[in-house]
Amino acid sequence: MAQGNANAQERLDKINVTCSKHFEKQLLFCIKCKELVCVTCITEHHNGHEMQDLNKTCTKRMKQLKDSKKTIQIMLEELQMTQNKEENMKFHRISQHREVIEAILTQKDTLTEVINRYTTELVEQLDKEVELINSSFDEEGRHLKEKKRVLKEKLKDRKKLLKLSFNDLVQLSENKLEFDTDLPKEDYENRYPTAKFIPGKIAKSNIGMLQFGLQFKLMVLKRLTTDLPVIHFISVGNDETLWINDSKNGKLQKVKSGKDSVEVLLGIKLNVFSMVVTREGNLLVATGDSTLKRINASTGQECASIFKVENKIITAVHLNEKNELIIGVRTEGMRYSFESETSLIKINQKGQIVTTFEFDKNNKRLFTYPRYISSNSKGNIGIVDWFSEYGKGHVVILASNGDIINVYDGNADTKTSYIKFNLGGIVCTTSDNFIVTDISNHLLHLLNSNGQLVFQFDTLSIGIQLPYYLTFSRSGKLYVGSLSPNPHSLFEVECQGS
């Protein structure tokens, strides 16, 4: 370092620059004009300007060069690190894309295998039916052949008898004259119905979809203690108060969220099958009959509403963005029966039925027991359809015209056991996705608008056991009701990336 300073000083001592205008030795540096000047220059053009000794100027310039050299070296190192990171990221992204391509091709192979297998089953089923038909026709042919033989014998016998004398004809017994006049009925269409092939719907949803940059995160903001041991329904009022329900014990409460508990504003003894807050702020409740009850949000007073369905039991109720009620209904009798008449009905605010969804294009019932309903801004409707009391079932996604878009019944890990995939509530996000609770697995299944699985979130990771029902407030908070017997059965959650 000392040697470097000595060299620098030596260079400074050797400074001998002559002014090109006055041919005098330039001794100073004009800070204002940023140029070298001699004595005459100062007198003529730089009088009053701040001047700097050349040695000091050179020292300053050398320091600037050294500092900039060091800065450039640091920048080059940082650029090299960035370049290395980008190359690593590029390699990682290409590897990820290759994995995605492999997954797509695997899905293609799986679908091809399923299609081939099912096609073979259909052809084999039809071949067996043809064999039965051929066997039946062969048997029928033998019967017809025998019938013809008997009739020919009768005809031959009649020709002989017609040659008898009058006395012999009179003496003929009745048995000789009688014969079977019944002929086989030509009811081939009913006895041997013709098979028809009804092509299934081929859609992109059968393949899957690409999802970029998903960051689905949940963070618990509040763990709230309530008077209810479990929570089956949650509805958010216009003033951000909550309606919560324990259907097992027939308790309905209007509550206000506090720091770690809720304040009960109203308490009502009522069996609730489903409920929804209207735009006016009142509560509509399905109570196990054909008419929705209206509960005044201020007083808790209950009365019958104009929304009713004849000879049906309302199982679920939802209010869509068009302010239409979408209700699930069933006929009286055994629940979860495939023979039960179930449907989805849209009702306007005048209580008039707009449309009914009951059968698919193959005239098969859409639902077994429509338990929970949600919808998005595209008009797609998500229905949790139960098969049993324990929530076993699937999620049916309908288009606004009632066509089935997709049926989601869990992935490979959750459809191997009877109780593995038992469903609770369903809610739509601001991104038009659906979130459905998977109670026994402590999971939330994030489905896209078409009902395809996008992500599964483990609620145990944020301390929520047995998530059952969920709903969003107008401010975007997610409320989750739990079946867990611990003190906290209601959770206020921040939801990101849904």
* The pLDDT of residue 137: 83
Alpha carbon 192 to chain centroid, angstroms = 44
Task: Answer for the pair 44, 91: CB distance below 8 angstroms, yes or no.
Answer: no
From CA 263, how far away is CA 344, in angstroms rounded? 36
**One-letter amino acid for residue 396 of the chain:** V
Q: How far is CA 35 from CA 19, 25, 31, 49, in A?
A: 11, 14, 7, 11
Structure tokens given for 256: 């206000």
Q: How many CA atoms lie within 13 A of 80 on its CB side?
A: 6
Strand order of the sheet with strand 342-347? 313-319, 325-330, 342-347, 353-357
DSSP 8-state secondary structure symbol assigned to residue 63: H
Query: pTM (2 decimals)?
Result: 0.63
* Cβ count near 395 (within 10 Å): 24
User: DSSP secondary structure string, 448-473?
Assistant: -TTS-EEEEEEGGGGT--SEEEEEE-
Q: Residue 154: what pLDDT? A: 82
Give the pLDDT confidence score for residue 349 in this predicted structure.
Answer: 94
DSSP annotation of 321 reads T
Mean pLDDT, contiguous 10-residue spans, the chain (498 residues) = 49 65 79 85 86 78 88 93 91 88 89 90 89 85 86 83 74 66 61 74 66 77 91 91 92 92 93 93 94 94 93 94 94 77 94 93 90 94 88 90 90 45 90 93 92 89 93 92 84 86
Cα(254)–Cα(235) distance, integer angstroms: 9
Instruction: Work out the number of other CB atoms within 10 angstroms of the CB of residue 45.
Output: 13
- Amino acid at the residue 120: T
Domains delineated in the chain: 2-69 (3.30.160.60), 218-496 (2.120.10.30)
* Token code pair at residue 210: 């690409």
DSSP string, 194-224: PP---PPPP-GGGT-----S---EEEEEEEE
Residue matched to tokens 């013809």: 148
Q: Where does 162-198 have alpha helices with state H?
A: 166-170, 174-177, 188-191
What does the pLDDT read at residue 338? 67
